[in-house]
Amino acid sequence: MNIEHSATTDNGKTRDHNEDNFLVDKKLNLFVVADGMGGHAAGEVASSLCVRRVREAIAESREMISKFDSSDGKGRNDLLHMLEASVQGACQAIYELGERNPEQRGMGTTCSLLLLAGNRGFIAHVGDSRIYLSRHGQVHQLSDDHSLVNELVRRGKVKLEDIDSSPYRNYKNAVTRAVGVYQTVEVDTLDFDVLPGDQFIICSDGLHHYLTDESILDLLDKKDIKESPQAMIDFANAGGGHDNITSIVVRVGAAAEEDKRSTEVTLKLEVLKGMQLFRYLNYKELVRLMNITQMRRYGDGESIISEGDAGAEFFIILDGKVRLHKGDSFITSLKRGDHFGEMALVDSDVRSASASAQGSARTLVIHRRDFYEIIREESKLSVKLLWSFVRELTKRLRKTTADLSGARVDALIDATIPDLTAHVFKDD
């Protein structure tokens, strides 16, 4: 990848010193922002120690990073675990320093880092600094704020635009996770495809407090990348500059023409996003889901699943058509965005029908073991996925029972499977 980058930091208009720190390692393609907190300049100590320890730990894994081959995906989890360990190591170091120095006890810092390896990006994140991706004219926030405000908004206690006039206005800077306050910390990680033309912002809350999607696109629209971080500093200061401001901008060189990988990644995300099953997922959650899919190709008439066989895979049609049938009896034809075999994700019963390709076709496949893993590890995502599956299966049950027994059985379903959608998603 051809990578450009630029970074800068500023005190802002209300702070007399800067507790932010950032790091850019050109050889590692590593970018880190840390926003420190704590009295007696302890925040500056925490953020400085964080970026240093994180960089040292990741540099020790230089060989692992250089050997990573994004074409087969092997080693993705190893890199994510390595990044998490690097943040945990920094957390331990900051905590121990605070224990030795009473004036610095309780100090901590945010940590948001981006590592580019092969054709993939890897993120580790704690706190309320942010990582944004700008792609194809759209802005996606790749990190979640570990902040009291975000938690209150998520729970429906207050709207984000009403924070300044709410009783919670004095807690705008309160974080729910920080590196170094305790011996360990929960670290969010994510990996994803990096495409030609992608741009990233890694920044402290002194900047993102003022940003909108529109302003991000405008601030990134600079021919010389060195202009963007300073333009962001000026933008935040013009808005009030209430805190220290740090921005790193990373740009991946655009391809002369759209390559095959870019086309496939875009298609996968568009298909997943367009499905009713995944309509509640945000961009980051769609990326997590896409990471557990496999793509398979089929020739005309080739069997995909067979009636009576055991199944452990769920199929989503990426392109082409698929014919569903029982024996020689035709059931229906499915096209892009349609799916089949979803029951295999929740039980181990045999297939009730067969599926074969009509012409050439490609599918995305999710295996039961990978589905269970994401359910175990991602609580918010799992609620959305499981509820969508309940709704889908209920819809099919309604149709079947209506065909068989009409309104009598449909009323029974209404009594046993209430529609709880509003309750499940009102807090997210």
CATH value at residue 291: 2.60.120.10
Residue 210 has pLDDT above 60, yes or no: yes
Q: Bigger pLDDT: 61 or 151?
A: 61
Same domain, residue pair 247 and 281: no
- Position 165 scores a pLDDT of 72
Query: What is the pLDDT averaged over residues 357-370?
Result: 96
Strand partners, 188: 125
As given in the structure block, the two tokens for residue 119 are 């054709």
Ranges 99-103, 153-157, 178-182, 419-423, most confident: 178-182
Residue 86's pLDDT band (cuts 50, 70, 90): very high
Q: Which of 255, 273, 296 is the last residue of a domain?
A: 255
Range of the domain at 410: 258-428
**Helix segments in 60-102, DSSP class H:** 62-67, 76-100
Same domain, residue pair 233 and 302: no
SS3 137: coil
SS3 383: helix
Same domain, residue pair 310 and 355: yes
- Residue-wise pLDDT for 289-323, tens only, equals 999 999 999 999 999 999 999 999 999 999 999 99
- Residue-wise pLDDT for 118-158, tens only, equals 899 999 999 999 999 999 999 999 999 998 888 887 777 77
Packing angle of the helix pair 76-100, 42-59 (nearest 10 deg): 140
Strands (E), 196-277: 199-203, 245-252
Q: How far apart are CA 188 and CA 290, in angstroms?
A: 17
Same domain, residue pair 325 and 411: yes
- Position 258 scores a pLDDT of 63
Structural domains of the chain, count = 2
Taking the CB of residue 408, how many other CB atoms lie within 10 A of it?
10
Nearest to 102 by CA among 50, 40, 43: 40
Average pLDDT along the chain: 90
**Cβ pair 239, 164 in contact under 8 A:** no
- Position 420 scores a pLDDT of 44
Residue 56 has pLDDT above 50, yes or no: yes
Same domain, residue pair 282 and 368: yes
- Position 326 scores a pLDDT of 92
Query: What is the pLDDT averaged over residues 253-259?
Result: 73
* Residue 427 exposure: Cα atoms within 13 Å on the Cβ side: 10
Strand partners, 25: 30
Q: Bigger pLDDT: 398 or 84?
A: 84
**Cβ pair 238, 211 in contact under 8 A:** no
Same domain, residue pair 428 and 332: yes
Strand partners, 109: 36, 179
Residue 23 has pLDDT above 50, yes or no: yes
Same domain, residue pair 186 and 57: yes
Q: Which of 236, 255, 274 is the last residue of a domain?
A: 255
Same domain, residue pair 234 and 292: no
Same domain, residue pair 204 and 286: no
Same domain, residue pair 72 and 218: yes
Q: Which of 255, 289, 321 is the last residue of a domain?
A: 255
- Position 411 scores a pLDDT of 56
Same domain, residue pair 347 and 249: no
As given in the structure block, the two tokens for residue 365 are 């496949």
Burial class (CB in 10 A: 0-12, 13-18, 19+), 332: exposed
Query: What is the pLDDT averaged over residues 323-342?
Result: 93
Same domain, residue pair 208 and 350: no
* Residue 59: CATH number of its domain: 3.60.40.10
As given in the structure block, the two tokens for residue 428 are 């997210």
Q: How far apart are CA 21 and CA 52, in angstroms?
A: 10
